[in-house]
Chain A
Amino acid sequence: MPSKARTAVLPSLSFELVHHTLSNGLRVVIAPDRRSPVVGIAVYYDVGFRSEPEGRTGFAHLFEHLMFQGSVNLEKLEHFRYVQSSGGMFNGSTHLDYTNYFESLPAHAFERGLFLEADRMRSPRITEENMANQISVVKEEIRVNVLNRPYGGFPWLVLPPVLYDTFPNAHNGYGGFEDLSNATVDDAAAFFNSFYAPANAVLSVAGDIDPDSAIELIERHFGGIKRRKKPLRPDFAEPPLVSERRDSVTDALAPMPAVALGYRVPDPGADLHVYLSTVLLAEILSDGDASRLQRGLVQSKRLVTDINAYLGTFGDPLEERDPTRLNITAHYPDLGSTEAVITAVDEELARLANDGTEPGEVERVRTKLVATVFRELDQVLNRSLEFAKFELLFGDAGLITELPRLLADITDADIRAAAAALRPDNRAVVELIPGGAR
Chain B
Amino acid sequence: MTALLSVPALARPARPMKLASTERVLASGLRVMVVRRPSVPMVEIRLRMPFLSARSRHLAKAALLSDSILTGTANLDRAGIAMALQELGGDISIGLDADRLLLSGSGLSSRLPDLLGLLADVVTSASYNSSEVSGERERLVERITIMRSQPGVIANEALAARMAPGHPYGTSLPQIDDVVASTAAQLRKLHAELVRPHDAVLVIVGDLSASKALDQAERALSGWTGTASAGSVPALPEVEALPLLVVNRPGSVQTSLRFGGDALPRSDERYPALQLANLAFGGYFSSRWVENIREDKGFTYSPRSSIDHAQLGSSVSLSADVATEVTAPALLETMYELGRMATLPITDTELESVRQYAIGTLALSTSTQAGLASTLSTLLGSGMDVEWLASHPARLAEVTAEQVADVSAEFLAPQRLVGVAVGDAEAIVDPLSRLTAVDVA
Given contacts A85-B352, A110-B11, A140-B254, contact A375 B42 (CB under 8 A): yes
Cα of A268 to Cα of B71 in the assembled complex, Å: 36
- Taking a contact as CB atoms under 8 Å apart, the answer to whether B361 and A85 are in contact is no
18 intermolecular pairs with C-beta atoms under 8 Å apart: A35-B39, A73-B5, A73-B7, A81-B286, A86-B356, A88-B364, A108-B14, A135-B298, A148-B252, A289-B82, A290-B83, A291-B82, A367-B87, A368-B85, A374-B42, A378-B40, A378-B369, A436-B149
- Taking a contact as CB atoms under 8 Å apart, the answer to whether A147 and B253 are in contact is yes
**Counting CB contacts under 8 A, is A352 at the interface?**
no
A417 → chain B closest CB, angstroms: 22
Which residues 260-288 of A have a CB within 8 angstroms of B?
287-288
Chain A residues lying within 8 Å of B5, measured Cβ to Cβ, are: 72-73, 115, 119
Chain A residues lying within 8 Å of B371, measured Cβ to Cβ, are: 379
Most A-side CB within 10 Å, residue of B8, B151, B300, B357 = B8
Cα of A116 to Cα of B5 in the assembled complex, Å: 11
Which residues 142-185 of B have a CB within 8 angstroms of A?
142-143, 145-146, 148-151
**Counting CB contacts under 8 A, is A295 at the interface?**
yes
Which residues 83-140 of A have a CB within 8 angstroms of B?
84-90, 104-112, 114-116, 119, 122, 132-140
B19 → chain A closest CB, angstroms: 12
In the complex, identify which listed stretch (A155-163, A251-259, A390-398) lies at the interface while the others stay far away: A251-259
**Counting CB contacts under 8 A, is B135 at the interface?**
yes
Chain A residues lying within 8 Å of B14, measured Cβ to Cβ, are: 37, 106-108, 208
Given contacts A82-B7, A148-B253, contact A289 B78 (CB under 8 A): yes
Which chain B residue lies CB-closest to A377?
A: B40
**Counting CB contacts under 8 A, is A182 at the interface?**
no
Chain B residues lying within 8 Å of A333, measured Cβ to Cβ, are: 138, 142
**Counting CB contacts under 8 A, is A36 at the interface?**
yes
**Counting CB contacts under 8 A, is B360 at the interface?**
yes
Number of interface residues of B (CB under 8 A): 83
- Taking a contact as CB atoms under 8 Å apart, the answer to whether B252 and A302 are in contact is no
Which 3 interchain pairs have the tightest Cβ spacing? A87-B360, A371-B89, A136-B298
- Taking a contact as CB atoms under 8 Å apart, the answer to whether A133 and B367 are in contact is no
**Counting CB contacts under 8 A, is A143 at the interface?**
yes
Q: Which of B149, B150, B286 contacts A77 (CB 8 A)?
A: B286
- Taking a contact as CB atoms under 8 Å apart, the answer to whether A87 and B357 are in contact is yes
Chain A residues lying within 8 Å of B16, measured Cβ to Cβ, are: 37
Which residues 23-63 of A have a CB within 8 angstroms of B?
35-38
- Taking a contact as CB atoms under 8 Å apart, the answer to whether B298 and A132 are in contact is yes
A293 → chain B closest CB, angstroms: 13
A399 → chain B closest CB, angstroms: 18
**Counting CB contacts under 8 A, is B73 at the interface?**
no
**Counting CB contacts under 8 A, is B139 at the interface?**
yes
Which residues 1-34 of B have a CB within 8 angstroms of A?
2, 4-17
**Counting CB contacts under 8 A, is A191 at the interface?**
no
Cα of A291 to Cα of B91 in the assembled complex, Å: 13
Q: Which of A72, A88, A119, A331 contacts B142 (CB 8 A)?
A: A331
- Taking a contact as CB atoms under 8 Å apart, the answer to whether B40 and A13 are in contact is yes
Cα of A133 to Cα of B146 in the assembled complex, Å: 33
Chain B residues lying within 8 Å of A288, measured Cβ to Cβ, are: 82, 85-86, 91
Q: Which of A10, A36, A72 contacts B39 (CB 8 A)?
A: A36
- Taking a contact as CB atoms under 8 Å apart, the answer to whether A149 and B150 are in contact is yes
What 0/1 pattern do residues 345 to 373 of A give for CB contact below 8 A with B?
A: 00000000000000010011101101110
Given contacts A133-B296, A148-B254, contact A108 B367 (CB under 8 A): no
